[in-house]
Amino acid sequence: MAKCDLCYRHCNIPEGGFGFCEVRTCKDGKIFPDNYGKLTSIALDPIEKKPLNRFYPGSYILSVGSYGCNLRCPFCQNYQISWAKEVAICKGNARFVSPEELAEIADEQRIHGNIGVAFTYNEPLISYEYVLDTAKVLREKGLKTVLVSNGMADTATVRELFEYVDAMNIDLKGFTDHYYADVLKGNRQMVMDFIAEAVKHCHVELTTLVIPGENDSDVEMDSLSSWVAALNKDIPLHISRFFPRFHMEDKNPTPVDTIYHLKTVAEKHLTYVYTGNC
């Protein structure tokens, strides 16, 4: 048995077992990501799709995903590769791609405007070792490394990663402990600490998915954007519209007017506020 120090759960994982994320496992008494190099998704996307609006706009980035996640968002758009039972199916369909091979694929895509690799779709931090190994090879080739993440990781555990990641879009999913703990099964303070550290090292943009009745109040958006502005008022914030999905089909889509109104609330503190899914 060994303890995983990646996130606040500190899972004690028995030999051959798995932590909450369904990925980090104990092998020979040491914690290791079972999904190391195992990809379920790969696509060449516009950088704005991450979304990153102020990092090499107009470029493309090779986007890859694996499986597993250390949150349980009931509205997950990629639940097929993130949630427990579905993850079991994904494991058999994943293809192993070494860091060197992935960097070579990314290099070949330069002719299509590719600037690097974005680790996305599922939660990349649960296999940060693979991200780190790949990022080192990408840097040698002059390519960029991007993370699209929930930010729920101990900064001490993944510290070396900050040296090699060029940009991140981090979900700041809400700004109450209730929402993070009870709805998402996560830890808000850990995400805030991760964001605060990330902005010291690379380009960071944030995304908040607004869900009716959950995190859509003026007070919460004001508090969230005020906290972000205290880090740096020029950090871009993407406020996105929710659509019924997965285990949250009982909710109505977020009214478009709500998104544009919350944009004006956030703009009291932040220079760059964008709307999404409108």
Q: What is the CATH number of the domain that holds 185?
A: 3.20.20.70
State the pLDDT at residue 86: 61
The dihedrals phi and psi of 74, each to the nearest 5 degrees, come to: -70, -10
Question: Could you give the CA distance from residue 179 to residue 72 in angstroms, rounded to a whole number?
Answer: 12
Residues 169-198 as b or e (16 or more Cβ within 10 Å = b): bbbbbbbbeebbeebbebbbebbbbbbebb
Token reading at 218? 């003026």
State the pLDDT at residue 73: 93
Would you say 133 and 165 are in contact if contact means Cβ atoms under 8 Å apart?
Answer: no
pTM value is: 0.96
State the pLDDT at residue 82: 76
Question: Could you give the CA distance from residue 32 to residue 122 in angstroms, rounded to a whole number?
Answer: 17
Question: Could you give the CA distance from residue 274 to residue 107 in angstroms, rounded to a whole number?
Answer: 31
State the pLDDT at residue 88: 65
State the pLDDT at residue 87: 67
**Residue in this structure with the two tokens 């998104």, named with its chain if needed:** 259
Mean pLDDT of each 10-residue bin along the chain, 278 residues long: 96 95 94 95 96 98 96 88 67 89 98 97 97 98 98 98 98 97 97 98 98 97 98 98 90 96 98 95
* Cα pseudo-dihedral 245, 247, 250, 255, rounded to 10: -40
Would you say 11 and 19 are in contact if contact means Cβ atoms under 8 Å apart?
Answer: yes
Question: Could you give the CA distance from residue 101 to residue 60 in angstroms, rounded to a whole number?
Answer: 19
Task: Identify any residues that bridge with 114 across adjacent strands, giving them in sequence order.
Answer: 60
68: domain range?
A: 2-276
* Cα pseudo-dihedral 92, 183, 190, 208, rounded to 10: 90
Q: Given the DSSP bridges, would you call strands 60-65 and 41-46 parallel, antiparallel or unpaired?
A: antiparallel
What's the total number of domains in the chain? 1
Question: Could you give the CA distance from residue 59 to residue 47 in angstroms, rounded to a whole number?
Answer: 6
Question: Could you give the CA distance from residue 278 to residue 68 in angstroms, rounded to a whole number?
Answer: 28
The H or E element that residue 140 is part of is helix 128-140
State the pLDDT at residue 85: 62
State the pLDDT at residue 76: 87
